[in-house]
Amino acid sequence: MGSLLIRNIRSLVQIETVRRNLVKGPDMANLPSIEDAYLLAENGRIAAFGPMSACPDRADETLDATGRMVLPSWCDSHTHLVFAATREEEFVDRIRGLSYEEIAGRGGGILNSARKLEAADEDSLFRGAWQRLQEVIGFGTGAIEIKSGYGLTLESEIKMLRVIRRLKEASPIPIKATFLGAHAIPMAYQARREAYIQLIVEEMLPQVAGEGLADYCDVFCDKGFFTPEETDQILQAGWKYGLKPKIHANELGITGGVQVGVANRAISVDHLEHTSDIEIELLKNSDTLPTLLPSCAFFLGIPYPEARKMIDAGLPVVLATDYNPGSSPSGNMPFVVSLACIRMKMLPEEAINAATLNGARAMELEDEVGTIAIGKKANLFTTIPLESLALIPYSFGGKAVETVILNGKVL
């Protein structure tokens, strides 16, 4: 597979010599780096790195990074990358004054996406998602999680998950798949929601697990969607098939999602735009990660999660894009990092930790990606020439990433 040597790196950021699973609390402000550094990748993995004074003198390919920083690729642990159509009509409706919940209540939102997805075939869904995958790779993403949840019937949920499986097989970056049959109650079940839960538990989950189509189980536990009791039932059923929970919680209100997530040993509880001290305390006494999605708050105009409070309480905050057609039609991790700093008062170092190592942990990929460590995948990027790290979030919406390297190869 060959070797790649990156020379004269102004700053090699997020290096790791002693392996950690994640960073939390005050440690999130530490981002170890080496100035004037080199990095050697061999056979797709990071083989060595250090100061230029110790740089090896040859490799199959060399890249001169004078003036540039090198970072590990972003780890985007929460997306809905597979969908059939954009929803810009609802975007305009919201500009005119309707809320996300009002649009959902009249059959728009997730149900609108489900109708479009039902009519789409696997090939066209694959092509659309593949294009978006290339787009986010260009933003520097080097590992990603993708959810189902626009199917809402046995057939369509399986169709979505098969598309995700095809993406996994063809993708140059690691992908984790999450089953989100409990994303919304379909119209036909609104008068008998327990029958939809039963369909998820008795038909969808067995087939999803039987075909090995998912790594995780998700539920949209929120006001107007699934109750904590329903969520509990689905997560327990998921565990029977070895599917660990990663759930949507507290986007629209304080609705018990954190409690049910922690009780079910969720890997992460995601969103948390509405969170009180009680939830923060609960998370502190658990291994469940709080994943924040600031581009969703930005797009919907809802409150930003209280990242500062969470980090100050000692929590390991994670950042992700939530790329989806309804609440965050963008998979731009550098923009998410900017928003985290600008609107949630995270330090640039904290935001980068949240978007790399902690994101990797939220997909159980911390042994593979998320830091510059010997043996990990050589998924990284060089920045444009930069004087300081803080320029990455500071120059919001700008071009931070110059060259993407995946599996030790320049893209």
Residues of this chain that bind Fe ion (CB under 5 A): 322
CA geometry: angle 128, 302, 261, nearest 5 deg:
75
Question: Of ligand NIG, Fe ion, none, which one sits near residue 110, judging by CB under 5 to 8 A according to partner kind?
Answer: ligand NIG
Total interface residues for ligand NIG by CB under 6 A: 12
From the list 74, 71, 149, 76, the residue with the least C-alpha distance to 321 is: 76
3: amino acid identity, one letter:
S
Instruction: For residue 295, state whether it binds ligand NIG (rule: CB under 6 A).
Output: no
Instruction: For residue 327, state whether it binds ligand NIG (rule: CB under 6 A).
Output: yes
Q: Is the CB of 1 or the CB of 119 nearer to ligand NIG?
A: 119
Residue whose beta carbon is closest to Fe ion: 322
Q: Residue 184 and residue 382: Cα distance in Å, rounded?
A: 40
**Contact with ligand NIG (CB under 6 A) among 142, 186, 326, 393:** 326
* Shortest distance, position 168 Cβ to Fe ion, whole Å: 19
Q: Is the CB of 16 or the CB of 135 nearer to Fe ion?
A: 135
* Shortest distance, position 80 Cβ to ligand NIG, whole Å: 6
Instruction: For residue 141, state whether it binds ligand NIG (rule: CB under 6 A).
Output: no
Instruction: For residue 322, state whether it binds ligand NIG (rule: CB under 6 A).
Output: yes
Q: Residue 12 and residue 173: Cα distance in Å, rounded?
A: 21
* Shortest distance, position 120 Cβ to ligand NIG, whole Å: 15
Number of CB atoms found within 10 A of residue 300's CB:
19
Phi and psi at residue 209, in whole multiples of 5°?
-70, -40
Instruction: For residue 11, state whether it binds ligand NIG (rule: CB under 6 A).
Output: no
Q: Strand, coil or helix: what is 388?
A: coil
Q: Could you write out the DSSP letters of every residue in 195-255?
A: HHHHHIIIIIHHHHHHTT--SEEEEEESTTSB-HHHHHHHHHHHHHTT-EEEEEESSSS--
Q: Is the CB of 105 or the CB of 242 nearer to ligand NIG?
A: 105
Tell me the angle at which helices 154-170 and 122-138 cross, rounded to the nearest 10 degrees. 50
* Shortest distance, position 327 Cβ to ligand NIG, whole Å: 3
Q: Is the CB of 296 or the CB of 311 nearer to ligand NIG?
A: 296
* Shortest distance, position 373 Cβ to Fe ion, whole Å: 29
Question: Of ligand NIG, Fe ion, none, which one sits near residue 326, judging by CB under 5 to 8 A according to partner kind?
Answer: ligand NIG
Is 280 within 8 Å of 289 (Cβ atoms)? no
Selected range binding ligand NIG among 54-62, 106-114, 153-161, 374-382, rule: CB under 6 A: 106-114
**Contact with ligand NIG (CB under 6 A) among 3, 14, 73, 113:** 113
In SS3 terms, 163-209 reads as: HHHHHHHHCCCCEEEEEEEECCCCHHHCCCHHHHHHHHHHHHHHHHH
Instruction: For residue 77, state whether it binds ligand NIG (rule: CB under 6 A).
Output: no
19: amino acid identity, one letter:
R
Question: Of ligand NIG, Fe ion, none, which one sits near residue 408, judging by CB under 5 to 8 A according to partner kind?
Answer: none
Is 141 within 8 Å of 173 (Cβ atoms)? yes
From the list 12, 68, 142, the residue with the least C-alpha distance to 383 is: 68
Binding mask 215-254 for ligand NIG (x = CB under 6 A): -----x---------------------------x--x---
Q: How far apart are the first and last CA of the chain?
A: 14
Phi and psi at residue 26, in whole multiples of 5°?
-60, -25
Instruction: For residue 296, state whether it binds ligand NIG (rule: CB under 6 A).
Output: yes
**Contact with ligand NIG (CB under 6 A) among 140, 181, 256, 325:** 325
Q: Is the CB of 110 or the CB of 201 nearer to ligand NIG?
A: 110
CA geometry: angle 32, 33, 37, nearest 5 deg:
155
Q: Is the CB of 9 or the CB of 136 nearer to ligand NIG?
A: 136
Question: Of Fe ion, ligand NIG, none, which one sits near residue 144, judging by CB under 5 to 8 A according to partner kind?
Answer: none
CA atoms within 13 A on the CB side of 349: 15
* Shortest distance, position 359 Cβ to ligand NIG, whole Å: 16
Question: Of ligand NIG, Fe ion, none, which one sits near residue 109, judging by CB under 5 to 8 A according to partner kind?
Answer: ligand NIG
Structure tokens at 100: 């996300």
* Shortest distance, position 221 Cβ to Fe ion, whole Å: 12
**Contact with ligand NIG (CB under 6 A) among 44, 109, 128, 142:** 109
Binding site for ligand NIG (CB under 6 A): 109-110, 113, 220, 248, 251, 296, 322, 324-327
